Structure 1
Amino acid sequence: MNHSSHNKIVSFIWSIADDCLRDVYVRGKYRDVILPMTVLRRLDALLEGTKDAVMEEVKFQKEELELTEFDAKGLEDASGYVFFNTSKWTMKRLKETATNSMQILEANFMEYLQGFSPNVQEIIEKFELKGKVSHMANKDVLLDVLEKFTSGEINLTPKEKVDAEGRKLPPLSNLGMGYVFEELIRKFNEDNNEEAGEHFTPREVIELMTRIVFDPIQDKLPPVMTIYDPACGSGGMLTESQNFIKDEEGKIKASGDVYLYGKEINDETYAICKSDMMIKGNNPENIKSGSTLATNEFSDTKFDFMLSNPPYGKSWNSELKYIKDGKDVIDDRFIVKLADYWGIKEEVDATPRSSDGQLLFLMEMVDKMKAVSQNHLGSRIASVHNGSSLFTGDAGSGESNIRRYIIENDLLDAIIQLPNNLFYNTGITTYIWLLSNNKSSNRKGKVQLIDAGQLYQKLRKNLGNKNCEFSPKDIETITQNYLNLDAVEREGEKGIASKVFDNADFGYYKVTIERPKRLKAQFTVERIAGLRFDSKLREPMEWAYQEFGEGVYTNIGDYTEQIKKYCEEEELNLNAKAIKSLTTPTVWDKHLKVYQTAQQLLEAIGTEEYNDFNVFKAEVEAELKARKVKFSASEKNLIYNAVSWYDENAEKVIKKKEKLSEDKLEKLLDRLGCSQEQLSDFGYEHQSGTEYIVYETESDLRDNENVPLKEEIHDYFIREVQPHVPEAWINLEATKIGYEISFNKYFYKHQPLRSLEEVSTEMLALEEESEGLIKEILSLK
């Protein structure tokens, strides 16, 4: 490519903004005019050579075929492109026939825009170009802009031209136009720092991503390649990927074609991307508009390569209704099958918290991976994320499930930590995730972590948050660190380090450790008094009872407005359901019945304090049975909770007694992976014969332990828990598996503290300096 001529074109178009748009648009809005006008002029230039043929086809279809709607295929054949323009106008003709009437020029321009094919019409609409044309006409600068873009000083056509001074202007190929367009996007994004990061990934980051995706297999590229970006923005990653595969003359390294696919939710950047596809001769129909998360656009398509910089820290609440129905996930992309602790396959939710949807984009790409076969090498993915994708979410959460699925299926190849302040709109640390479903043999079952956080070059001038960049040497260093996998820690050039881990190194069991409930119990007037009221509505119910007395049990509906007013005045913030409960007779009657029954139990059992809740409960059950009181379990628990409390010296509360037959015992031991003598470590206490006791758990004393996947849970329990809490046991059925990746944990370097002598010397020196200052100040006085 002739970069010199391309740079001249970029400089000329860049100057149009200051020459024509100053005082018409604020500087940050120049791109809103220049980019669509550049697209329009390039499309116009491509169609100039076949304009006559298109007009002949238009005439033929109207007069000979008498068509009321144009046949697009015939017009595309006439234009030689997948787009066309059926109006009599070109941009040059608009300029040449322009008069002093800006109204006429505007009308002709609108007719010209209206003549484009539907695919270009969509771009015009997304750019809101008609409104900008009207605005430029009203401000009397439309003709100036038109003259600049059709100037003989630049050549945006695919044919060689001669300028006014007789100098040859080389033709501009589709690849060259792509370079010009991308350079304009880059310059405008950098010039407008506040918005740059929303739609633009720094070029050196894209270059690094393409290197690590394609370099390892550049001699094995498939004959036909498909590349996809689910958050394609202006298409930078797609076009850079294509540029990597093609050399400067446009020859493909592997025989065949490259097909680019993408989806973008922002209208303007979608229009930029789609027009860029047109300019470069790619199929613009492969670029879709809308939310990737809401619609599975390419549900029947799998891709060879995928590169993306999805939005992070951005809510996906607006797409929630398309992904979940209540708690149930309804989109198959975000449901994964995992093996639980006992090897049973289960489908689990793979959706992160609604405040951050970046991992959903990663799962969208995982869903689009090609299966490895004799004809396919599988797929490779590079995706940019912030730190939350590495560690946010506890075991069993959507985020952890996503990491678990990716790692346990051996899809995660490497993660590269990038420097802070490398992007335009954020200074946080970012990471490139590299995924592959066809790892080389030396990478199977392993994940490489590369810390390149200190490898960068400082910029002379900040671009938004961006104050550093990767040099070509830095990119080469990172790429070589990735390619030259080493099974041990490697400290390479300054600013970079690499470590290799087994997949299981990132996993852990979240083990629930239980302790027995120990309760004392005693009936007292004070303890049962609160049973009149629902514990969640105690304050307003207690007020109502004090205010209206026994009337709350006979005429509660008469006090509805007063109760509502009290709740509002006290700012209790009760919802409609709670308010309704407050004024429902059955609610008051239920708690009155429980209270009255507790009074009868108090009279029958007395106020003795029980150290064994099991004995106390048996007496209460016997008394209720004798009185023929039919209480539900929840109603009984209201009484038990009111009159009992935890005491570490009380007896353990029995949940159930279970008889384990020989066959049942054998199955239980096999599932728990322990001996009969070790059953107490899992909550079963042997009594006699086949009888075992299972105790109630005390939720306030419940604890969790994170046990590395490579370690046996029981061994960890015996070593780390049992010596400190002998009566604790493992609730194995509550065990969850989680995955997280911590760069700080693996790459942190301890800085030893300075010696006491060194600190003392510095303190004494500072004291001498301060005394000198004080003396100096005093002498001045």
Structure 2
Amino acid sequence: MNHSVHNKLVSFIWSIADDCLRDVYVRGKYRDVILPMVVLRRLDALLEPTKDAVMEELAFQKDEAGFTEWDENGLMQASGYVFYNTSPWTLQRLHNTATNSQQILQGNFEEYLNGFSANVKEIIEKFKLKSQVRHMANKDVLLNVLEKFTSSYINLTPFEKVDPDGRKLQPLSNLGMGYVFEELIRKFNEDNNEEAGEHFTPREVIDLMTHIIFDPIKDKLPPVMTIYDPACGSGGMLTESQNFIKDEEGGIRAKGDVYLYGKEINDETYAICKSDMMIKGNNPENIRVGSTLSTDEFAGTSFDFMLSNPPYGKSWASEQKYIKDGKDIIDPRFQIRLKDYWGVEDDADATPRSSDGQLLFLMEMVSKMKSKEKSASGSRIASVHNGSSLFTGDAGGGESNIRRYIIENDWLEAIVQLPNNLFYNTGITTYIWILSNNKAPHRQGKVQLIDAGQLYRKLRKNLGNKNCEFAPEHIKEIVQVYTSLEAIEREGESGIASQIFDNADFGYYKVTIDRPKRLKAQFTEERIADLRFEKSLREPMTWAYTEFGEEVYTNIAAHEKAILEYCEKNELNLNAKQAKVLTSKEIWQKQLDLLNSASELLAMIGTEEFSDFNIFREKVDAALKKLSNKLTSSEKNAILNAVSWYDASAEKVIKGITKFAGEKLEKLLNYLDSKEGQLADYGYFPTGKKGEYLQYETESDLRDTENVPLKENIYEYFLKEVKPHVSEAWITLDATKIGYEISFNKYFYRHKPLRNIEDVAADILALEVESDGLIREILGLGIGADVLMERTDV
């Protein structure tokens, strides 16, 4: 569908809204009428030529065959489609026989709607069209709207027509319908101050995706093919894929049947998609409505090809309960197992942050790939994403684990970066991910990154945010670069670039580097005073004690209202649990007991300052034993934390002794590829006794992490990059995580050196001369501006 036809059709449809619906609907609600009427007219126009045949079949079934229920197969054969209408009406007949009575027209219109087959009735229901018909009839505009949509000067069918003046009217394909739908949605939402949630995929992007997906295996396509889109929208990607592989001119001609499957959450776009499936003769039952993430509609089904442009930046928080139970993933589509640094396989998180669920759609497609046992060619996937899918998420997090799962299974073939402003309703940078579970031998273990961000031609007129497009030669060039798996350096400011990487190039170890805790300690009245208050509620408890004194221990309930009012007035934003703790007599008494225990320790140990926390801790333990004070571990730690502080000159705090001897020590050393003397670099320090190693407490404030490429040795990296700068640091191997990220900027960015100052100065001087000459020409006709100003005393 060319842009002029598209713009003309959108303008015509928009004029219907403006001419007929103004003052009846607010502008943002025009869509409630326009979209269903466009779909209805498409279906109605297709049924018009066979209307008499359907009525004859209906009469036969009713009068001669004596059927009590309609034989749907007979009616569908008569209509020529997988849908039909048993009422005597068409939209044209409704218009032609209409009187001035809107009520009669409404009754006929509803009879017409009720005459449709069940699959169309569902579409009508999703659009809530009956209520709109009643509203238009009550406002006396139903006939006007009907007149517009039955105009012979507009063609909403997928077939070419001729208007009364003999001019050809271009057909409205599924893709064209998608463009019209997107433009109307944009206009409706602009008028309603809303942002369009749908991002229609441009024709040339679909063309690129289909070439990349089908071209490599065009000579060995399966005899029967299934294509799936988990976020199918109006169905353009599905129908265009079908058109592509059935296109003889394109060099691909599928011999067998092609079955299309999809799911869409938006009722309007679902209705449009389903209607086009019926028009094209595809099975509309394979298109489902609802959330793809909440329900596995096609559980147990796998597909040959999957193409999608899932929503990005869209929260899936409301669907979490269907996917996760706490930390446990309950939906098998998103369950994965990965090996940790030690090579132990375990369940891994495969859910991205709740604010963006686009990678879950990719996992949905991955879960529906055909195994090689089911299909010799496996499955191929093309999915559009924004940049966050490439690098968002830390090592061990959901996004990183999904990338790791895909890459380590060697399913990722390539990623293509697209130009900005290529899409209709968004200007952000987008990427096409290409996956296959049956890579060609020369692609195995490899990932190709293609930067086509500078490969485009400008549009003469913007379509929403879309201000550029791929020309056919651009698509051909990208496909050729992808097919040949070649590395290409970009020439100049434009053109294409490509690089080839090993799978492991995108992985890294996130290594935790720790340093020992060094503490000084001293008991003083000031340091233990804060033990009177629970740490997280120190401010309100301090105020309450200052205000009410010892009554907080004897009658806290009497002051509950005043304490909570203070918290509200000072915007402390306490939750219900904190409010309960703050006004609990038991908590106040617990903190007082803790303070009294610390006071007893102060009396016994004194106010001496210790530079060795290990000795100080031993004295505290001995004192507690003498006092027969059985503090819990957390209570003792609260006291120790209150009277100690970090000091670089203090002694290291000992955590304990670990024993590695015999076979256990040998196994550890073999795994680490280290000698026994190097165990200190992993936090195990020899005590002098055979097989015993000292471990120190770690100082969390000094903890750091290093991202070490998978292809590098962690220990060698540590010796080179860390040890020379922090001699007492060590590697905490148990905390090591593996992450994966893909950065196009890292691989394709080329630094442009700054121009030298002489060139910049020369350009400035040249501009001054040019501007001076322009002023002379305007003001003085050759007389210098300075002379002219002097003469006129300006």
TM-score (ref. length: structure 1): 0.91
The answer to whether the aligner puts 1:32 opposite 2:35 as a matched pair is: yes
- Post-superposition Cα deviations, 1:419-461, rounded to whole Å, max 9, x if no partner, equal 1111122211111111111111111111111111111111111
Separation in 2, partners of 1:473, 1:159: 28
SS in 2 for 1:468: strand
Tell me by how many angstroms 1:163 deviates.
8.6
8 Å Cα contact 1:669-1:676 kept in structure 2: yes
Residues 621-654 of structure 1 show CA distances to partners (whole Å, capped at 9, x for unaligned) of 0111121110111011011101111111111000
Match of 1:311 in 2: 311
Residue 64 (structure 1) aligned with residue 63 (structure 2): no
Q: Distance in 2 between matches of 1:252 and 1:579?
A: 69
Distance 1:775 1:599, change over 3 A: farther
Instruction: Name which of structure 1's ranges 710-719 and 654-663 shifts more when overlaid on structure 2.
Output: 654-663
Q: 1: CA distance between counterparts of 2:328 and 2:573?
A: 29
> In the alignment, residue 204 of structure 2 is paired with which amino acid?
E
Q: CA deviation at 1:551?
A: 2.3
- Matching residue's letter, 1:51: V
Unaligned runs of 5+ in 2: 776-784
Q: Is the 8 A contact 2:35 2:181 kept in 1?
A: no
Contact kept in structure 2, 1:421 and 1:468, CA below 8 Å:
yes
Once residues 290 and 541 of structure 1 are traced to their aligned partners in structure 2, the CA distance between those partners, rounded to angstroms, is: 50
- The amino acid of 1:64's aligned partner reads G
Partner of 2:666: 666
Query: Does the 8 Å CA contact 1:178/1:279 hold for their aligned counterparts?
Result: no
Work out whether residues 175 and 236 of structure 2, in 8 Å CA contact, stay in contact via their aligned partners in 1. no
Instruction: Return closer, same or farther for 1:161/1:715 CA change in 2, 3 Å cut-off.
Output: closer
Moved more, 32-41 or 349-358: 32-41
Shift of 1:196: 7.0
Letter paired with 2:62: K
Residue aligning to 1:52: 55
Cα deviation for residue 46 of structure 1 reads 6.2
Secondary structure of 2:718's counterpart equals: helix
In 2, the alpha carbon distance for the partners of 1:104 and 1:249 equals 51
State the percentage of identical aligned residues. 64
- Counterparts of 2:208 and 2:218 in 1: how far apart (Å)? 15
Counterpart-to-counterpart distance in 2, 1:454 and 1:90: 50
Aligned partner letter, 1:578: Q
The CA deviation at 1:215 is 1.2
CA distance in 2 between partners of 1:755 and 1:161 (Å): 64
Post-superposition CA distance 1:69-107 (Å, at most 9, x none): 655456445655432323233344434443343322221
CA shift in 2, pair 1:49/1:378, >3 Å? farther
Does structure 2 conserve the Cα–Cα contact (< 8 Å) formed by 1:190 and 1:463?
no
Quote the Cα distance in structure 2 between the aligned partners of 1:770 and 1:599.
Answer: 83
Change (3 A) 1:160 1:49: farther
For 1:754, the equivalent position in structure 2 comes to 755
Match in the other structure for 2:495? 495
Kindly indicate whether the alpha-carbon contact (under 8 Å) linking 1:58 and 1:75 is maintained by their aligned counterparts in 2. no
Give the drift of 1:115.
1.3
Matched, 1:525 2:522: no
Q: Distance in 1 between matches of 2:9 and 2:683?
A: 79
Aligned letter for 1:113? L
* Range that drifts further, 190-199 or 237-246: 190-199
Correspondence for 2:778: none
Distance 1:429 1:777, change over 3 A: farther
Asked if 1:732 corresponds to 2:761, the answer is no
Residue 691 of structure 1 aligns with which residue? 692
Q: Summarize deviations over 1:407-430 as a string: whole Å, max 9, x none.
A: 111111111111111112221111
Q: Could you tell me how far 1:208 is from its partner in structure 2?
A: 1.0
Correspondence 1:385-464 to 2 at 5 A: 385-464=385-464
After TM superposition, give the deviation of residue 366 of structure 1 in Å.
0.8
- Are residues 409 and 603 of structure 1, via their aligned partners in 2, closer, same or farther at CA, if it must alter by over 3 Å? same
Task: Give the deviation of 1:198 after TM superposition.
Answer: 1.6
Q: Quick one: which amino acid aligns to residue 36 of structure 1? A: V
Q: Give the aligned residue type for 2:652.
A: K
CA distance in 2, matches of 1:496, 1:397: 33
- Secondary structure at 2:299 match in 1: coil
Equivalent pair of 1:391/1:742 in contact (CA under 8 Å): yes
Tell me if the contact between 1:14 and 1:184 (Cα under 8 Å) persists in the aligned partners.
Answer: no
* Alpha-carbon distance in 1 for matches of 2:6, 2:495: 38
Map of 2:206 onto structure 1: 206
- The SS at the match of 1:86 is coil
Instruction: Tell me how far 1:179 sits from its aligned partner.
Output: 6.8
- 1:270 partnered with 2:267: no
Report the CA distance shift for 1:690/1:44 in structure 2 as closer, same or farther (over 3 A).
same
> Which position in structure 2 is the counterpart of 1:551?
551
Whole-Å separation in 1 of the counterparts to 2:161 and 2:572 = 79
1:99-118 CA-to-partner distances (Å, cap 9, x unmatched) read 34332222111101101111
Compare 129-138 and 118-127 and name the one that shifted more.
129-138
Q: Could you report, residue by residue, the CA deviation over 1:359-415 in whole angstroms, capped at 9, with x for unpaired residues?
A: 111111111111123743111111111111111111111111111111111111111
Q: Is the 1:197–1:424 Cα contact (8 Å) retained in structure 2? A: no
Once the two structures are superposed, residues 723-761 of structure 1 have per-residue CA deviations (whole angstroms, 9 ceiling, x without a partner) of 111110001110111111111110011111222433454
RMSD, matched Cα: 3.4
For 1:492 and 1:437, the matched residues in 2 are separated by 36
Counterpart secondary structure, 2:432: strand
Q: How far 1:52 moved relative to its partner?
A: 2.8
- Aligned amino acid, residue 398 of structure 1: G
2:279 is aligned to 279
1:215-254 correspondence to structure 2 within 5 Å: 215-247=215-247, 253-254=253-254
Look up the equivalent residue of 2:659 and give its one-letter code. Answer: K
Q: Distance in 1 between matches of 2:115 and 2:317?
A: 40
C-alpha distance in 1 between matches for 2:219 and 2:717: 48
Give SS of 1:442's match: helix
Once residues 17 and 58 of structure 1 are traced to their aligned partners in structure 2, the CA distance between those partners, rounded to angstroms, is 42
1:306 is paired with a residue of what secondary structure? strand
Q: SS in structure 2 opposite 1:452?
A: strand
Q: Residue in 1 aligned with 2:112?
A: 112
One-letter amino acid matched to 2:126: K
Structure 1 position 16, deviation (Å) = 6.5
Look up the SS of the partner of 2:636 in the other structure. helix
Deviation sequence 1:23-46 (CA, Å, 0-9, x none):
425596484255223323234236
Q: Residues of 1 paired with 2:769 and 2:492: CA distance? A: 44
- Residues 267-314 of structure 1 deviation map (CA, whole Å, 9 limit, x = unaligned): 111111000000010001111111111111111211111111111111
Q: Which residue of 2 aligns with 1:88?
A: 88
Mapping for residues 571-610 of structure 1, pairs under 5 Å: 571-610=571-610
Counterparts in 2 of 1:7 and 1:249: CA distance versus 1, 3 Å: farther
| Aligned twin of 1:677 | 677
Rounded Cα–Cα distance in structure 1 between residues aligned with 2:380 and 2:399: 21
Write the distance in 1 (CA, Å) between the matches of 2:276 and 2:673.
61
Q: Once the 2 structures are TM-superposed, how far is the Cα of residue 254 of structure 1 from its aligned partner?
A: 2.6
Contact kept in structure 2, 1:33 and 1:132, CA below 8 Å? no
Question: What is the aligned length?
Answer: 771
1:585, distance to aligned residue in structure 2 (A)? 2.1
**TM-fit CA distance, 1:690:** 2.3
CA contact (8 A) 1:177 1:279 kept: no
Does 2:19 align with 1:22? yes
Alpha-carbon distance in structure 2 between the residues aligned to 1:72 and 1:231? 30
Higher mean alpha-carbon deviation, 73-82 vs 508-517, is at 73-82
| Stretch of structure 1 that moved more, 741-750 or 663-672 | 663-672
3-state SS of 2:693 partner: strand
**Alignment partner of 2:416: what SS?**
strand
Q: CA deviation at 1:20?
A: 8.5
Distance 1:512 1:521, change over 3 A: same
Give distance in 2, aligned partners of 1:76 and 1:251.
Answer: 33
Partners of 1:208 and 1:723 in 2: CA distance: 51
Deviates more, 1:704-713 or 1:77-86: 77-86
| Aligned mates of 2:573, 2:787 — CA distance in 1 | 64
- Using a 3 Å threshold, how does the CA distance of structure 1 residues 251 and 82 change in structure 2: closer, same or farther? farther
Higher mean displacement: 605-614 or 541-550: 541-550
**Cα deviation 1:226-283 (Å, max 9, x = unaligned):** 1111111111100110110112799981321011111111111111100000001000
1:510-521 matched pairs, under 5 angstroms: 510-521=510-521
For residue 52 of structure 1, what is the amino acid of its counterpart?
A: M
